[in-house]
Chain A
Amino acid sequence: MDCQLDIFFLEAILNGLLLAGLLALLALGLNLIFGVIDVVWICYAELVMVGMYGIHYAYKGGAPFLLAALFGIVLVALAGIVLHQLVIRPVLESAPINQLLVTGGVLFFLQAAATMAFGIDFKNLGLRPGSVLFADMSFSYSRIITFGVALVTMLLLWLFLSRTYIGIAIRAISQDRAIMPLMGVDQRRVYLVTSGIGGGLAGLAAALMVLQYDIYPQIGLQFGPLIFMICVLGGLGSMIGGFVAAFIISEFIAVGGSCFATEWGYAIAFLFFMVVIFIRPQGLFGGRS
């Protein structure tokens, strides 16, 4: 154990902050979907995985990285719309457990399909932007880029949700679904737009993650539970809650991992999560349980 208030400790805290940007972005998409449509996409991380493969093959096929990234965002946005139309719409009025089961089914389907189509070996783009040294501390460029892009994206989404008619309708619909027709709002259209944005955010996360992580069919298992835990900790459907929870969890992982071992970081984070859920089942910022 090596846990002193030294430069490594500070480095761990700052790396936790950088990790939080990515996790907050991932949680944002899931929270948006849940807040508006009232369905949890358990397969959210698998959509990210699909996006990562899409970007990988587009890049290997000769597209410049930014174009490949754009392709990934559009691909997963469309996947989100298709998921809503084919899988979510038929179960919109069903019990939550049935909704979890169908999206859980999609999770395993996508994993199996990816294994069949792309094999189990780890792939990467061969793009590793390197690290920057600052006051004897080392930070990877990819994490810094990810953090910046995630923050800008969240800011843009916030502007969209607070300034545009459709954005305000997206927030209103979770507060009173039944009267939306009286406002002239077509609920089906709002759901499709939201699914597209939720998918697009997963695609953007994929574009950032291919810079840091290898791609394999089960990568969703590494992130899925973490994203879900962050959303529940912050209060499912609360976008601000998800943002704050992402920072809390990332610090547990980064600092715990630096003091003990990486696995311990995750263990402490999940332990903290369980304690909070005992005390506050609706999550830190949640209105509903």
Chain B
Amino acid sequence: MLELSNVDAAYGGFQALFGISMSVQAGEAVAVIGSNGAGKTTLLRVISGLLPATGGAMTMESTSLRDTAPHKIIETGIAHVPEGRRLFPRLSVENNLKMGAYIRPARQKFDERLAFVYELFPRLKERRAQLAGTLSGGEQQMCAIGRALMSGPKLVLLDEPSMGLAPVIVAQLFDLVRRIRQEGYTVLIVEQNVRQVLKIADRAYLLEVGRIKASGPSGDLLASDEIRKAYMGI
């Protein structure tokens, strides 16, 4: 579904990604793990067009992403839940969801998808008229994921969804990601919470200072001594 080959990216003169090659197949849940500053967030920003790649090729179902304007990438079926959730704080929950359905094909299915998101997150329905900035951290994350689902994506990019959430809520959140998978969405998730994310992902890539250092089925990575030492403190 998503195919990256030899992708480079840079912030100004500072190169952040070096020759990244990876793929995500339809129906998979793929994790990208690594420490702070390894380039995980940058990778998602490059895929969704927020940061232009400086080299390599990226395709989503045979559409070249590098030749697609940033605001058109969502129309290829990629929805990005950004780091820190980034809701519109002074818009209501429902208007945040409406922004998720901004693209033309999504507008026609707004009612249907809104009902689906409210069924997935009954809390959002209770709070639909409330300003998004007044929600709790967990509710904001639900709203951010709901907003991404409103565009009817095939692939959902999740950037550190557990960041800043209480441990109890984090567990609920990972259940939720599992649920989203069961609904048929393909998921590419970036996390520092390595142990938990490897439990829900089929495969994972390990990123270190902008390069892919290891990849493979989650079970193999979970069993690797190197990864256990470096990322799980065992």
Question: Interface of A with B (CB < 8 Å)?
Answer: 162, 165, 168-169, 171-172, 175-176, 178-187
Tell me the minimal C-beta distance from B94 to chain A in angstroms. Answer: 10
Is B71 within 8 A of A175, CB to CB?
Answer: no
Q: Which residues of B contact A175 (CB under 8 A)?
A: 88-91
- The answer to whether B71 touches A181, judged by C-beta atoms less than 8 angstroms apart, is yes
Chain B positions 205 through 225: 1 when the CB is less than 8 Å from some CB of chain A, otherwise 0 = 000000000000000000000
Provide the residues of chain B in CB contact with A178, threshold 8 Å: 50
Whether A172 lies near B91 (C-beta < 8 A) is yes
Interface string of B102-114 (1 = CB under 8 A from A): 1100010000000
Task: Using known A-B contacts A176-B86, A182-B50, determine if residue A168 contacts B99 with beta carbons closer than 8 Å.
Answer: yes
Given A165-B107, A172-B91, A175-B88, A183:B50 Cβ within 8 A:
no
Q: How far is the CA of A178 from the CA of B45 in the complex (A)?
A: 11
Let me know if A172 and B88 touch, CB within 8 A: yes
CA of A137 to CA of B110, assembled, Å: 53
Interface size on B, residues (CB 8 A): 27
Pairs A–B under 8 Å by Cβ, sample size 21: A165-B98, A165-B102, A169-B102, A171-B88, A171-B90, A171-B91, A172-B95, A176-B86, A180-B71, A181-B71, A181-B73, A181-B74, A182-B50, A182-B79, A182-B80, A183-B100, A184-B75, A184-B102, A184-B103, A186-B69, A187-B71
Chain B residues within CB distance 8 Å of chain A: 48-50, 69-75, 79-80, 82, 86, 88-91, 95, 98-103, 107, 151
Among candidates A162, A182, A187, residue contacting B82 with C-beta atoms closer than 8 Å: A182
Complex: A187 Cα to B89 Cα, angstroms: 19
- Tell me the complex Cα distance, A179–B88, Å: 10
Residue of A nearest to B82 (CB): A179
Contacts of A176 in B (CB 8 A): 86, 88
Of all chain B residues, the one with the shortest Cβ separation from A178 is B50
B151 CB contact (under 8 Å) in A179, A184, A187: A184
Asked if residues B49 and A181 are in contact (CB atoms below 8 Å), the reply is: yes
B-chain residues with CB within 8 Å of residue A180 when the two chains form the complex: 71
Q: Complex Cα distance A185/B104, Å?
A: 11
Q: Give the 3 A-B residue pairs with the shortest CB-CB distance, closest first.
A: A181-B70, A184-B103, A184-B74
Min CB–CB distance A161 → chain B (angstroms): 10
Contacts of B74 in A (CB 8 A): 181-184
Among B75, B79, B102, chain A packs the most CB atoms within 10 A around the CB of: B102
The answer to whether A183 touches B102 (Cβ under 8 A) is yes
Instruction: List, in ascending order, chain B residues with CB within 8 A of A162's CB.
Output: 95
In whole angstroms, what is the CA distance A165 to B75 when docked? 16
Residue of A nearest to B73 (CB): A181
Q: Which of B71, B79, B95, B101 contacts A186 (CB 8 A)?
A: B71
Please name all residues of chain A whose beta carbon is closer than 8 Å to the beta carbon of B69 when the two chains form the complex: 186
Known contacts A168-B95, A172-B91, A175-B90; A181 and B102 CB within 8 A of each other:
no
Shortest Cβ gap from B41 to chain A (Å): 13
- Shortest C-beta distance, A186 to chain B (Å), equals 5
